[in-house]
Structure 1
Amino acid sequence: MNKAIFDFERIGTMDDFYIVAKRQLNLPEHFGKNLDALWDSLTGDIELPLAVRFENMSMSQLEIFDKLIQLFEEASGELGEAFSFEYYLRKAV
Protein backbone atom coordinates (compact mmCIF):
# COMPACT_ATOMS: atom_id res chain seq x y z
CA MET A 1 0.00 0.00 0.00
CA ASN A 2 1.30 3.46 -0.91
CA LYS A 3 1.58 6.02 1.90
CA ALA A 4 1.31 9.82 1.93
CA ILE A 5 2.32 11.56 5.15
CA PHE A 6 1.59 15.26 5.65
CA ASP A 7 3.55 16.96 8.44
CA PHE A 8 1.49 19.90 9.65
CA GLU A 9 4.45 21.45 11.42
CA ARG A 10 5.38 22.51 7.87
CA ILE A 11 1.86 23.20 6.59
CA GLY A 12 0.19 26.41 7.76
CA THR A 13 -2.27 27.29 5.01
CA MET A 14 -4.39 25.55 2.40
CA ASP A 15 -1.97 26.81 -0.26
CA ASP A 16 0.86 25.09 1.62
CA PHE A 17 -1.21 21.91 1.76
CA TYR A 18 -1.96 21.94 -1.98
CA ILE A 19 1.74 22.36 -2.83
CA VAL A 20 2.64 19.35 -0.68
CA ALA A 21 -0.39 17.34 -1.84
CA LYS A 22 0.45 17.80 -5.50
CA ARG A 23 3.82 16.15 -4.86
CA GLN A 24 2.76 13.56 -2.23
CA LEU A 25 -0.32 12.37 -4.11
CA ASN A 26 1.13 12.82 -7.60
CA LEU A 27 -1.81 15.00 -8.61
CA PRO A 28 -2.30 15.87 -12.27
CA GLU A 29 -0.98 19.12 -13.79
CA HIS A 30 -4.53 20.41 -14.20
CA PHE A 31 -5.24 20.10 -10.44
CA GLY A 32 -7.28 23.17 -9.45
CA LYS A 33 -6.14 23.76 -5.84
CA ASN A 34 -9.59 23.67 -4.24
CA LEU A 35 -11.59 21.10 -2.30
CA ASP A 36 -13.76 20.09 -5.27
CA ALA A 37 -10.67 19.44 -7.40
CA LEU A 38 -9.07 17.53 -4.53
CA TRP A 39 -12.17 15.34 -4.20
CA ASP A 40 -12.11 14.61 -7.94
CA SER A 41 -8.43 13.68 -7.74
CA LEU A 42 -8.83 11.51 -4.64
CA THR A 43 -11.73 9.60 -6.15
CA GLY A 44 -10.42 9.36 -9.70
CA ASP A 45 -6.79 10.29 -10.28
CA ILE A 46 -4.65 8.89 -7.47
CA GLU A 47 -3.09 5.46 -7.44
CA LEU A 48 -4.78 3.12 -4.97
CA PRO A 49 -4.41 1.56 -2.49
CA LEU A 50 -3.27 4.53 -0.44
CA ALA A 51 -2.92 5.35 3.25
CA VAL A 52 -2.93 9.07 4.10
CA ARG A 53 -1.77 10.40 7.43
CA PHE A 54 -1.82 13.96 8.78
CA GLU A 55 0.76 14.35 11.56
CA ASN A 56 1.59 17.06 14.09
CA MET A 57 -1.66 18.96 13.84
CA SER A 58 -2.28 21.64 16.46
CA MET A 59 -5.69 22.28 17.98
CA SER A 60 -6.01 25.47 15.94
CA GLN A 61 -5.16 23.55 12.76
CA LEU A 62 -8.05 21.19 13.47
CA GLU A 63 -10.32 24.18 13.00
CA ILE A 64 -8.41 25.70 10.07
CA PHE A 65 -8.33 22.41 8.16
CA ASP A 66 -11.72 21.07 9.31
CA LYS A 67 -13.20 20.90 5.79
CA LEU A 68 -10.05 19.21 4.49
CA ILE A 69 -10.21 16.57 7.23
CA GLN A 70 -13.89 15.99 6.46
CA LEU A 71 -13.09 15.55 2.77
CA PHE A 72 -10.44 12.92 3.50
CA GLU A 73 -12.79 11.11 5.91
CA GLU A 74 -15.51 11.09 3.24
CA ALA A 75 -13.04 9.80 0.65
CA SER A 76 -12.09 7.01 3.03
CA GLY A 77 -15.75 6.02 3.32
CA GLU A 78 -16.29 6.27 -0.44
CA LEU A 79 -13.19 4.32 -1.48
CA GLY A 80 -13.37 1.66 1.24
CA GLU A 81 -10.34 -0.53 1.97
CA ALA A 82 -8.37 0.98 -0.93
CA PHE A 83 -8.02 4.31 0.92
CA SER A 84 -7.36 4.96 4.59
CA PHE A 85 -7.04 8.24 6.42
CA GLU A 86 -5.96 9.19 9.93
CA TYR A 87 -4.76 12.32 11.65
CA TYR A 88 -2.79 12.98 14.82
CA LEU A 89 -2.38 15.95 17.08
CA ARG A 90 1.02 17.40 17.85
CA LYS A 91 2.45 15.97 21.04
CA ALA A 92 2.72 18.43 23.92
CA VAL A 93 6.28 19.30 24.86
Structure 2
Amino acid sequence: MKTTYIDFTDLGDYEDFYAQLKEKVTLPEFFGDNLDALYDFLTGFAELPLHLEFVNMSVEQLETFEDLLVTLEDAEEELEDFSFSYYLMQYEDEEGEVSED
Protein backbone atom coordinates (compact mmCIF):
# COMPACT_ATOMS: atom_id res chain seq x y z
CA MET A 1 0.00 0.00 0.00
CA LYS A 2 1.36 3.41 -0.94
CA THR A 3 1.63 5.85 1.97
CA THR A 4 1.44 9.58 1.31
CA TYR A 5 2.60 11.82 4.15
CA ILE A 6 1.14 15.28 4.72
CA ASP A 7 3.20 17.33 7.19
CA PHE A 8 1.01 19.75 9.14
CA THR A 9 3.93 21.62 10.69
CA ASP A 10 3.35 24.72 8.55
CA LEU A 11 -0.30 24.24 7.53
CA GLY A 12 -2.62 26.98 8.69
CA ASP A 13 -5.73 26.47 6.59
CA TYR A 14 -7.34 24.39 3.87
CA GLU A 15 -5.55 26.34 1.14
CA ASP A 16 -2.23 25.20 2.63
CA PHE A 17 -3.52 21.62 2.89
CA TYR A 18 -4.64 21.44 -0.75
CA ALA A 19 -1.35 22.97 -1.93
CA GLN A 20 0.62 20.24 -0.15
CA LEU A 21 -1.80 17.53 -1.28
CA LYS A 22 -1.29 18.59 -4.91
CA GLU A 23 2.48 18.25 -4.45
CA LYS A 24 2.11 14.69 -3.15
CA VAL A 25 -0.82 13.22 -5.09
CA THR A 26 -1.70 13.39 -8.77
CA LEU A 27 -5.13 15.01 -8.85
CA PRO A 28 -7.33 15.44 -11.92
CA GLU A 29 -7.26 18.85 -13.60
CA PHE A 30 -10.87 19.45 -12.68
CA PHE A 31 -10.22 18.91 -8.96
CA GLY A 32 -11.78 21.68 -6.87
CA ASP A 33 -10.21 22.59 -3.56
CA ASN A 34 -13.05 21.39 -1.36
CA LEU A 35 -14.01 18.35 0.69
CA ASP A 36 -16.64 17.10 -1.78
CA ALA A 37 -14.01 17.03 -4.53
CA LEU A 38 -11.58 15.23 -2.22
CA TYR A 39 -14.17 12.58 -1.38
CA ASP A 40 -15.06 12.16 -5.06
CA PHE A 41 -11.38 11.85 -5.94
CA LEU A 42 -10.77 9.20 -3.29
CA THR A 43 -13.85 7.16 -4.17
CA GLY A 44 -13.52 7.39 -7.94
CA PHE A 45 -10.14 8.52 -9.23
CA ALA A 46 -7.41 7.81 -6.68
CA GLU A 47 -4.82 5.17 -7.40
CA LEU A 48 -5.57 2.59 -4.73
CA PRO A 49 -4.44 1.14 -2.40
CA LEU A 50 -3.60 4.39 -0.64
CA HIS A 51 -2.85 5.38 2.93
CA LEU A 52 -2.79 9.08 3.87
CA GLU A 53 -0.77 9.86 6.96
CA PHE A 54 -0.98 13.28 8.57
CA VAL A 55 2.00 14.06 10.79
CA ASN A 56 2.78 16.88 13.22
CA MET A 57 -0.81 17.99 13.76
CA SER A 58 -1.49 20.33 16.65
CA VAL A 59 -4.58 20.18 18.85
CA GLU A 60 -5.70 23.45 17.24
CA GLN A 61 -5.39 21.84 13.79
CA LEU A 62 -7.58 18.95 14.90
CA GLU A 63 -10.34 21.51 15.35
CA THR A 64 -9.51 23.48 12.19
CA PHE A 65 -9.46 20.35 10.03
CA GLU A 66 -12.24 18.44 11.80
CA ASP A 67 -14.40 18.32 8.65
CA LEU A 68 -11.43 16.95 6.68
CA LEU A 69 -10.97 14.14 9.20
CA VAL A 70 -14.69 13.28 9.06
CA THR A 71 -14.59 13.22 5.24
CA LEU A 72 -11.61 10.87 5.29
CA GLU A 73 -13.32 8.63 7.87
CA ASP A 74 -16.33 8.42 5.52
CA ALA A 75 -14.08 7.51 2.58
CA GLU A 76 -12.28 4.92 4.71
CA GLU A 77 -15.62 3.26 5.52
CA GLU A 78 -16.59 3.28 1.84
CA LEU A 79 -13.33 1.92 0.41
CA GLU A 80 -11.44 -1.26 1.23
CA ASP A 81 -8.15 0.01 -0.17
CA PHE A 82 -8.03 3.44 1.47
CA SER A 83 -6.98 4.33 4.99
CA PHE A 84 -5.67 7.33 6.84
CA SER A 85 -4.14 8.18 10.19
CA TYR A 86 -2.99 11.30 11.96
CA TYR A 87 -0.40 11.98 14.62
CA LEU A 88 -0.05 14.90 16.96
CA MET A 89 3.11 16.96 17.11
CA GLN A 90 5.52 15.99 19.86
CA TYR A 91 7.84 18.35 21.64
CA GLU A 92 10.22 18.25 24.58
CA ASP A 93 9.37 20.26 27.65
CA GLU A 94 11.95 22.12 29.73
CA GLU A 95 12.85 18.93 31.60
CA GLY A 96 13.52 17.04 28.36
CA GLU A 97 10.40 14.88 28.56
CA VAL A 98 8.49 14.25 25.35
CA SER A 99 4.89 15.44 25.35
CA GLU A 100 2.20 15.47 22.70
CA ASP A 101 0.74 18.80 21.67
Partner of 1:14: 14
After TM superposition, list the pairs within 5 Å mapping 1:1-93 onto structure 2. Answer: 1-80=1-80, 82-93=81-92
- Sequence identity percentage: 49
CA displacement at 1:92 relative to structure 2: 2.7
CA displacement at 1:17 relative to structure 2: 0.6
Greater share of strand residues, 1 or 2?
Answer: 2
Deviations 1:23-72 (A, max 9, x none): 32211111110111111111111100001100000000000000001111
Unmatched tracts of structure 2, length 5 or more: 93-101
Distance 1:9 1:26 in 2: 22
Q: Structure 2: which amino acid aligns with 1:69?
A: L
Q: Structure 2: which amino acid aligns with 1:55?
A: V
Q: Would you identify which runs of 4 or more consecutive aligned residues in structure 1 move more than 2 Å?
A: none
CA displacement at 1:10 relative to structure 2: 2.4
CA displacement at 1:74 relative to structure 2: 1.2
Q: Structure 2: which amino acid aligns with 1:27?
A: L
TM-score by length of 1: 0.93
Query: Which protein, 1 or 2, shows the higher relative CO under an 8 Å CA cutoff with sep ≥ 6?
Result: 1
Greater share of helix residues, 1 or 2?
Answer: 1
State which drifts further: 25-34 or 55-64. 25-34
CA displacement at 1:19 relative to structure 2: 1.0
The root-mean-square deviation of aligned C-alpha atoms, in Å, is 1.0
**SS of match in other structure, 1:33:** coil
> Is the radius of gyration larger for structure 1 or structure 2?
2
